[in-house]
Amino acid sequence: MYSVTKRINFCYGHRLLDYDGMCKHPHGHNAIVEIEVRTEVLDRRNMVIDFSDIKRHIKEWIDRELDHRMILRHDDPLVKVLQALGEPVYLLDSNPTVERIARLVFDVSREQGLPVDRVTMWETPSSWATYSG
Ligand SMILES: [Zn+2]
């Protein structure tokens, strides 16, 4: 198998509800997300996929939807407050853990036609999560 990986950096804020730890308070991360695409056969350019295709598919979406936003559970009381102030939020159906955000990036990549095999997302340099479908 061949695989290529594109690394994308972005910043986000979040907090976890129904959770007893530091992450119940609003805080931010400098995230790194790695998009891995695999194939058995290379295309006519001798590529798994052009890195610029990964960038076009998913980096632009991350920049537009997640970068410098608060990612919150839909029923978080902070949502109404931030929206009233005109602050950008991205809402999830469940707690915005690094695992859940990795899955979000995976699902959006697939929806956009990117044959992604695995998404790994670093919340800190020593903590990361992987989702592979
Ligand atoms: Zn956090």
Task: Count how many residues are written for the chain.
Answer: 133
Residue 28 CA to ligand 1 centre (angstroms): 6
Residue 30 CA to ligand 1 centre (angstroms): 10
pLDDT, tens digit only, all 133 positions of the chain: 999 999 999 999 999 999 999 899 999 999 999 999 999 999 999 999 999 999 988 999 999 999 999 999 999 999 999 999 999 999 999 999 999 999 999 999 999 989 899 999 999 999 999 999 8
CA distances from 40 to 4, 28, 54, 76 (A): 12, 38, 18, 44
- Position 8 scores a pLDDT of 97
CA distance 93 to 86: 21
- Position 33 scores a pLDDT of 98
Residue 73 CA to ligand 1 centre (angstroms): 13
Q: Do β-strands 116-124 and 69-73 pair in parallel, antiparallel, or remain unpaired?
A: unpaired
Q: What is the pTM of this model?
A: 0.94
DSSP H or E stretch at residue 73 = strand 69-73
Residue 108 CA to ligand 1 centre (angstroms): 21
Residue 80 CA to ligand 1 centre (angstroms): 20
CA distance 72 to 35: 23
Q: How many CB atoms lie within 10 A of CB 76?
A: 22
Residue 39 CA to ligand 1 centre (angstroms): 33
Residue 89 CA to ligand 1 centre (angstroms): 15
- Position 133 scores a pLDDT of 85
Residue 88 CA to ligand 1 centre (angstroms): 17
CA distance 66 to 62: 5
